[in-house]
Structure 1
Amino acid sequence: MILTQCAVCATELGLSLGKKCGRCSTRYCGPECQKQHWEAGGHDQLCKPIKKAGGAEQYNANKRYTEAVAEAVEACAEDTKGQTCYICTQALHWKTKEGLVRGCSCRGTAGLAHVSCLAEQAKILFAEAEENNKPLDPAWARWHTCGLCKQNHHGVVRGALGWACWKTYVGRPEGDWNRINAMNELGTGLSAAEHHEDALAVREAELSTRRRLGDSEESILTVQGNLAVTYVVIGRHEEALNLYRDVYSGRVRLNGEEHLTTLIAANNYALSLNELKRFEEAKPLLRRTIPVARRVLEDGNDTMLKMRWTYAQTLYKDDGATLDDVREAVTTLEDTGRIARRVLGGAHPTTTGIEDHLRVARAILRAREAPPTSG
């Protein structure tokens, strides 16, 4: 359930409070708001179209998907001007008339597509994997991964694909795992598009749903980690730190220290410590886990890059940093930035983030190395 507020007064209803329209399932806090919405809010005109679309959740998903596609197309307009979709070979989508996007690590004329084409491709590939008893995870990954460069989509393109995935599976029963996984894709997409308050509602709904259905510890840890990310960006840092600590310890116990998910959890935990300026706790954590990451990941792996980026921050942001600490931070960011630019491209958020921090670290280093002025 994504719609968790009264359609009239926006009172938070969670997953079970309030009441629903008997025809279309639009949610209200009580009969007063429902009556007001019917008489003055236009629901008398919308009720049948909402029901025809499949109910309030499906209607909302379709509407938000269209808005997200328009946002992504506008953001990519300069990059995609005069190009065609690599899937359907057209400039405008034949049915929706939408323009092109690109939100991966493809360069030049590669990777340009319509969100609708990307979504249809992901839907078909996953359906084929289900039907033919093939591994499902690689097929599901196409909801967020480019089929050409194999890198994750990012930004508003990831957001549009999140809505595409949710609108595809929202009509399934609540306990259908594809529906629940689609909720996860939506939460991640909303975060990538920086719609963080919307992402928070989705993350909390997903965690509640998975717990109610008795999902595995693996899945619960994943959702807790995602929820912690959202807590960070909206400023709820202590809540995020508590979740990150629990997720990291859970991952070590469940998956072992060399597992990718454990390394991601370690980096997230360190980032949360950094946010609260607890650098002396973050440094030993990363000094212990980065060598593990080097054993199992390639230098260009996104998690490897992010762990080194985080480590550099623990060095130069600390008010007690030595000159050698700042120098090590600059060297680490220079090397990591070169690898990120080569593997991910200069426009990728990981690359630009590393380079932004490199500029700051270099400025601090210049100031520390400058000879004292005579008074």
Structure 2
Amino acid sequence: MILTQCAVCATELGLSLGKKCGRCSTRYCGAECQVQHWKEGGHDQLCKPIKKAGGAEQYNANKKYSEAVAVAAEACADDTKGQTCYICTQALHWKTKEGLVRGCACRGTAGFAHVSCLAEQAKILVAEAEENNLDAKAFGERFDRWHTCSLCEQKYHGVVKCALGWACWKTYMGRPETDRFWLLSMRQLAGGLYAAGHYNDALSVQEANLSMMRRLHVPEGVLLDVQSNLATTYASLGRHERALQIKRDVYSGRLKLLGEEHESTLRAANNYASSLKDLSRFEEVKSLSRKVVPVARRILGDSNDATLRMRSMYAEALCRADGATLDDLREAVTTLEDTARIARRLMGGTHPVTAGIEEFLRNARAALAARETPPTSKK
């Protein structure tokens, strides 16, 4: 996690409170904890190595990155056995000796790489965009390499996304807090932590990121992005009412700012529907979906991941709503069969989106079969 807590007592410091070690910038809530850490916590031995690594934040980022890469390579070991990196063409990274990963939608022999190679590729592309002062669209396409595969054009997920999040943060965290790369890299880190299931850490990073953006008076649209991610993390931590409140506000903000046909508005609607589903408010999910899904299919297309999520969520609401009819169940199964086919073609069978749709398709089919099968008459 980024350093927002006292190194001794874990008091929350945000991005600006407390004090720092004058040599290595390790953070403390006050002088008492700083003295205790030096005398009893081993900081007297670590201070110089931390300073040599670039300070406490850089030292922490480097350490967490190495740990995340090892976890990602281990998780992908069975899938990557006998393969080589499509960037450096080696099985083991020449310098770090790390193994391969694949956490996107590539299949067959495509998409295997080292996290270090993916990070270096992204770093070079972004540096070229910055050096040549490319426009926002070109810059965005290059920065996407930190989270999206250049081969299948699908986002990384799970522990691979987490490792790339740490790679991005350790690359840019030394820049000033007002620098766009600093803010963007913090968002990538938060997304990676969330993807790997580290929800409390993700929440801490997201709250710090939102606090900084408010201090800098960033545009409303950017704030809505960060709030949306924050709400998703609240939901994953079981704080569904808080998540619903934020997602409703974000959806309302998107509608006012961008209109109902903008992709960001449609994704906000999807997130809002997800929170309604978490609270079993299925009639509201159905009502919202019937309004949004036709727009998403027309604007984004059936193969867009947001459209797939919206349609599958609508189908789930059809099945789980009180008083679901036989026609509701049949519509749900038909919808899920279509979305599952598209998701498998687009992302592969192991992608979390595909797996989630196919799991609920099995449940929907079972529910439909139970309703269609007449009860056995007693003799």
State the TM-score bracket (shorter-chain normalisation): over 0.9
Shift of 1:368: 2.1
Shift of 1:343: 1.1
Q: Name the structure 2 match of 1:298.
A: 301
Shift of 1:14: 2.2
In structure 1, C-alpha distance between the alignment counterparts of 2:156 and 2:241, rounded to whole Å:
29
TM-score, normalised via structure 2 length: 0.97
SS at match of 2:200: helix
Shift of 1:2: 2.5
Q: Residue 210 of structure 2 aligns to which amino acid in structure 1? A: L
Q: Name the structure 2 match of 1:324.
A: 327
| Residue pair 1:2, 1:205 contacting (<8 A) in 2 also | no
- CA offset digits 1:235-287 (Å, max 9, x no partner): 01011001000110111111111111111100110010011111121111110
In structure 2, C-alpha distance between the alignment counterparts of 1:144 and 1:14, rounded to whole Å:
26
- CA offset digits 1:147-198 (Å, max 9, x no partner): 1111111111001000000000000011111110000000111111111111
**Residue correspondences, number:** 375
In structure 2, C-alpha distance between the alignment counterparts of 1:132 and 1:30, rounded to whole Å:
44
After superposition, residues 51-90 of structure 1 pair within 5 angstroms as 51-90=51-90
Ranges in structure 2 where 5+ consecutive residues have no aligned partner:
none
- CA offset digits 1:310-343 (Å, max 9, x no partner): 1111111223222211221111111100111111
SS at match of 1:4: coil
CA RMSD of aligned residues (A): 1.2
Alignment of 1:216 with 2:216, yes or no, is no
Q: Residue 362 of structure 2 aligns to which amino acid in structure 1? A: R
TM-score, normalised via structure 1 length: 0.98
Deviant stretches of 4+, over 6 Å: none
In structure 2, C-alpha distance between the alignment counterparts of 1:362 and 1:5, rounded to whole Å:
49
In structure 1, C-alpha distance between the alignment counterparts of 2:203 and 2:100, rounded to whole Å:
28
After superposition, residues 239-318 of structure 1 pair within 5 angstroms as 239-318=242-321
- CA offset digits 1:198-217 (Å, max 9, x no partner): 10001101100100011000
Ranges in structure 1 where 5+ consecutive residues have no aligned partner:
none
Q: Name the structure 1 match of 2:4.
A: 4
Q: Name the structure 1 match of 2:91.
A: 91
In structure 1, C-alpha distance between the alignment counterparts of 2:221 and 2:268, rounded to whole Å:
12
Q: Residue 68 of structure 1 aligns to which amino acid in structure 2? A: A
In structure 1, C-alpha distance between the alignment counterparts of 2:93 and 2:152, rounded to whole Å:
22
Alignment of 1:204 with 2:207, yes or no, is yes
Identity %: 72
Aligned residue among 185, 188, 205 for 1:185: 188
Alignment of 1:143 with 2:146, yes or no, is yes
SS at match of 1:110: coil
In structure 2, C-alpha distance between the alignment counterparts of 1:62 and 1:211, rounded to whole Å:
28
Q: Residue 344 of structure 1 aligns to which amino acid in structure 2? A: M
In structure 1, C-alpha distance between the alignment counterparts of 2:323 and 2:240, rounded to whole Å:
22
In structure 1, C-alpha distance between the alignment counterparts of 2:288 and 2:336, rounded to whole Å:
18
| Residue pair 1:308, 1:332 contacting (<8 A) in 2 also | yes
In structure 2, C-alpha distance between the alignment counterparts of 1:211 and 1:140, rounded to whole Å:
23
**Residue range with higher mean Cα deviation, 10-19 or 152-161:** 10-19
- CA offset digits 1:7-42 (Å, max 9, x no partner): 112222222332221111111222222122111111
Q: Residue 354 of structure 1 aligns to which amino acid in structure 2? A: I
